Chain A
């Protein structure tokens, strides 16, 4: 099955079939090898070993390939690794692929999403980060080594071998947690769009920047909208330039009548309801039934950064499913098992602050609050077996779990690029 494949672009310089031994005891089971006579022996031996060999990704049914970005904190234009480009509030700008994977999956369901991205000035740990960045959202990175790393592994250089080990350990982690793919994403906001044409930039950048807020959202392509699309949501974000189709409009307004929030722009068309008795600098607010509608006053409000952050506040942090402290630059995804008794929070850490400067890696003492009445939790990292998180006092100094009325607070130890928490009610 395509969902079981872990693909790797075979380095051209690994021409000796003995290099295939590097894949033994790993979960890499699909090689992308350009049709090159020099690699014929590698291809034959790989196939003989049960490894799927493909010349082009189009040969794999059920797979959609998207172009990605090398994930991490975008460095300053000077290239100084001690400096980073920042967003409007000074937080480091993060390149990530999770939202792209989720969008591609929503648009191409039930395809498996592979991300094609080549290393760009890779730092130690960034190969594992790239794999985790994609895999946390259910996709697969087409593992691609840069020439320096491929040569280093070929030459048995210690640092290169360590990077390879780090990467293969990451593939193993995700290969052994495929059951999370049966969990459903929990969401506060639903983003409804066709995600294409004139609406592509705003909708795509909105997903990117909503991810950075750690707000949990659901991607709802217009073409796949159904009555169940809005279940469990607090708000709907409709930012397409044109009005919605009649049925979509009707269902969203019913959602508002029942207590939901619609955040949209003037292109929505006529806005029913009555003026609200509060003001917002960038939105006209109306009340409809038990719910609210916020319509952008001008295109200024449609700056994707403002739109993402305004949306979170219009809904209110009261409904945060995840809330972080001291986590650095983190993207996080909450999903829940079909029986709703188990959940998993996956966290990808891109950068942290170290002595006033941005450094790659995870935080030292992060805390995450997860909404829900969970009673137990275990921490899963790439290099340790599952660690139960013991519950303790509310003001505990220690790593562990604090059970609150409608949430749990998890005090996390020093972490690398990725960690997950499995929670049980």
Chain B
């Protein structure tokens, strides 16, 4: 991923915006003037979430991709996990990791392998529902054990990216081609202060987009302090509450710290703004 004229961080910025526009990209590729990037893909099946099976399988998959060491050795890795919705909602009686949250054993196994491959620092990132509390607290409410994750690799950190978090200021990520909705997004520093970005998805159905994978997971990198229900007109709400109705429905603009939408005359429908990739 390291280009001749671009640093890894520049490329990661590009990836962030590709992620935000992914649905449109695949349905209307002619709107882009670029060549579609390609990369090796590894697919495997695990029968269980047992650590032994997961570690062995993931290890083999990373080898199939060319090895983890060349990507993470000596690097700061940011892993955006998918913890959609409040941690006190389950599907029936099933643990959250078995349904719509990234499974904690998958996170832990990946941390272990990245640590073994020499990652200098690994940050687990998510913008949990209606919260500016430490991410570890959301994990505990979901019945995950952050200490197990912390002990899986040498330097594991957690950051709630729903607000400014540990950073001093937001980082503006400009959409390379100009963007569809917004020309740029203000994000938590953790998405900038990394060398490697991983979207650790959870395959599941999604009412608006059809299904969720790695691109849809990145919808959650947007901080609700700016793009959420409680965001101020002038300033972010550093104790954000509610969801990202602003992104889905476009009923208002973000606070002045962020750039407004490019075109407010477009339909204010969730399905127009965030499209289903299952529809023809």
- How far, in angstroms, from A423 to B48 measured CA to CA in the complex? 31
- How far, in angstroms, from A365 to B91 measured CA to CA in the complex? 9
Partner of A325, one of B89, B134, B136, B137: B89
- How far, in angstroms, from A88 to B240 measured CA to CA in the complex? 10
Contact B90 A326 (CB under 8 A): yes
Chain A contacts for B92, CB-based, 8 A = 365, 397
Contact A365 B130 (CB under 8 A): no
Q: Which residues from 118 to 172 on chain B have a C-beta closer than 8 Å to any C-beta of chain A?
A: 130, 132-134, 136-137, 140-141, 143
- How far, in angstroms, from A318 to B143 measured CA to CA in the complex? 9
- How far, in angstroms, from A318 to B141 measured CA to CA in the complex? 8
- How far, in angstroms, from A326 to B143 measured CA to CA in the complex? 14
Partner of B93, one of A316, A324, A397: A397
How many whole Å from B135's CB to the nearest CB in chain A? 11
Whether B59 is near chain A, meaning CB under 8 Å from some CB there, is: no
Whether A222 is near chain B, meaning CB under 8 Å from some CB there, is: no
Whether A395 is near chain B, meaning CB under 8 Å from some CB there, is: yes
How many whole Å from A306's CB to the nearest CB in chain B? 8
Chain A contacts for B94, CB-based, 8 A = 395, 397
Whether B242 is near chain A, meaning CB under 8 Å from some CB there, is: yes
Interface string of A232-274 (1 = CB under 8 A from B): 0000000000000000000000000000000000000000000
**Looking across the interface, which residue of chain B has its beta carbon closest to that of A410?**
B93
Chain B contacts for A316, CB-based, 8 A = 136-137, 140
How many whole Å from A265's CB to the nearest CB in chain B? 19
Partner of A398, one of B93, B134, B137, B242: B93
Chain A contacts for B88, CB-based, 8 A = 323-327
Chain B contacts for A38, CB-based, 8 A = none
Contact A317 B140 (CB under 8 A): yes
Whether A58 is near chain B, meaning CB under 8 Å from some CB there, is: no
How many whole Å from A231's CB to the nearest CB in chain B? 24
How many whole Å from B29's CB to the nearest CB in chain A? 37
Contact B242 A90 (CB under 8 A): yes
Whether B53 is near chain A, meaning CB under 8 Å from some CB there, is: no
Chain A contacts for B137, CB-based, 8 A = 313, 316-317
**Looking across the interface, which residue of chain A has its beta carbon closest to that of B90?**
A325
- How far, in angstroms, from A199 to B158 measured CA to CA in the complex? 37
Q: Do A88 and B241 form a contact, CB below 8 Å, given A313-B134, A395-B98?
A: yes
**Looking across the interface, which residue of chain A has its beta carbon closest to that of B238?**
A281
A interface, size bucket: 20 to 34
- How far, in angstroms, from A94 to B108 measured CA to CA in the complex? 39
Whether A396 is near chain B, meaning CB under 8 Å from some CB there, is: yes
Partner of A89, one of B98, B130, B136: B130
Whether B183 is near chain A, meaning CB under 8 Å from some CB there, is: no
How many whole Å from A73's CB to the nearest CB in chain B? 17
Contact A89 B241 (CB under 8 A): yes
Chain B contacts for A397, CB-based, 8 A = 92-94
Interface string of A360-396 (1 = CB under 8 A from B): 0000010101000000000000000000000000111
B interface, size bucket: 20 to 34
How many whole Å from B46's CB to the nearest CB in chain A? 15
Chain A contacts for B141, CB-based, 8 A = 317, 323
- How far, in angstroms, from A320 to B241 measured CA to CA in the complex? 23
Q: Do A395 and B95 form a contact, CB below 8 Å, given A90-B130, A313-B133, A324-B88?
A: yes
- How far, in angstroms, from A182 to B90 measured CA to CA in the complex? 35
- How far, in angstroms, from A327 to B92 measured CA to CA in the complex? 11
- How far, in angstroms, from A411 to B98 measured CA to CA in the complex? 16
Chain B contacts for A317, CB-based, 8 A = 137, 140-141
Chain B contacts for A306, CB-based, 8 A = 239
**Looking across the interface, which residue of chain B has its beta carbon closest to that of A365?**
B92
**Looking across the interface, which residue of chain A has its beta carbon closest to that of B139?**
A317
Chain A contacts for B90, CB-based, 8 A = 325-326, 365, 367
How many whole Å from B167's CB to the nearest CB in chain A? 12
How many whole Å from A12's CB to the nearest CB in chain B? 45
**Looking across the interface, which residue of chain A has its beta carbon closest to that of B163?**
A281
How many whole Å from A253's CB to the nearest CB in chain B? 26
- How far, in angstroms, from A367 to B92 measured CA to CA in the complex? 9
Chain A contacts for B134, CB-based, 8 A = 313
How many whole Å from B208's CB to the nearest CB in chain A? 16
Chain A contacts for B95, CB-based, 8 A = 394-395
Chain A contacts for B238, CB-based, 8 A = 281
How many whole Å from B162's CB to the nearest CB in chain A? 13
Contact B93 A365 (CB under 8 A): yes
Q: Do A323 and B89 form a contact, CB below 8 Å, given A395-B95, A395-B98?
A: no
- How far, in angstroms, from A326 to B136 measured CA to CA in the complex? 20
Interface string of A340-372 (1 = CB under 8 A from B): 000000000000000000000000010101000
**Looking across the interface, which residue of chain A has its beta carbon closest to that of B92?**
A365
Chain B contacts for A88, CB-based, 8 A = 241
How many whole Å from A333's CB to the nearest CB in chain B? 18
Partner of B140, one of A318, A324, A396: A318
- How far, in angstroms, from A260 to B93 measured CA to CA in the complex? 34
How many whole Å from B266's CB to the nearest CB in chain A? 27
Q: Which residues from 208 to 243 on chain B have a C-beta closer than 8 Å to any C-beta of chain A?
A: 238-239, 241-242
Partner of B143, one of A281, A309, A323, A396: A323
Chain A contacts for B98, CB-based, 8 A = 395
Q: Which residues from 384 to 420 on chain A have a C-beta closer than 8 Å to any C-beta of chain B?
A: 394-399, 411
Q: Do A90 and B241 form a contact, CB below 8 Å, given A313-B134, A323-B141?
A: yes
- How far, in angstroms, from A288 to B186 measured CA to CA in the complex? 38
Chain B contacts for A327, CB-based, 8 A = 88
**Looking across the interface, which residue of chain A has its beta carbon closest to that of B142?**
A325
- How far, in angstroms, from A198 to B241 measured CA to CA in the complex? 30
Known: A90-B242, A326-B88, A395-B94. 18 other contacts (CB 8 A): A90-B241, A281-B238, A316-B140, A317-B137, A323-B141, A323-B143, A325-B88, A325-B89, A365-B92, A365-B93, A367-B90, A394-B95, A395-B98, A396-B93, A397-B92, A397-B93, A397-B94, A399-B93
- 13 CB < 8 A contacts A-B: A306-B239, A313-B133, A317-B141, A318-B140, A325-B89, A326-B88, A326-B90, A327-B88, A365-B90, A394-B95, A397-B93, A398-B93, A411-B93
Pick the 9 closest A-B CB pairs, nearest first: A317-B140, A411-B93, A325-B90, A313-B133, A89-B130, A325-B88, A313-B137, A317-B137, A317-B141
Residues of B within 8 A of A (CB): 88-90, 92-95, 98, 130, 132-134, 136-137, 140-141, 143, 238-239, 241-242
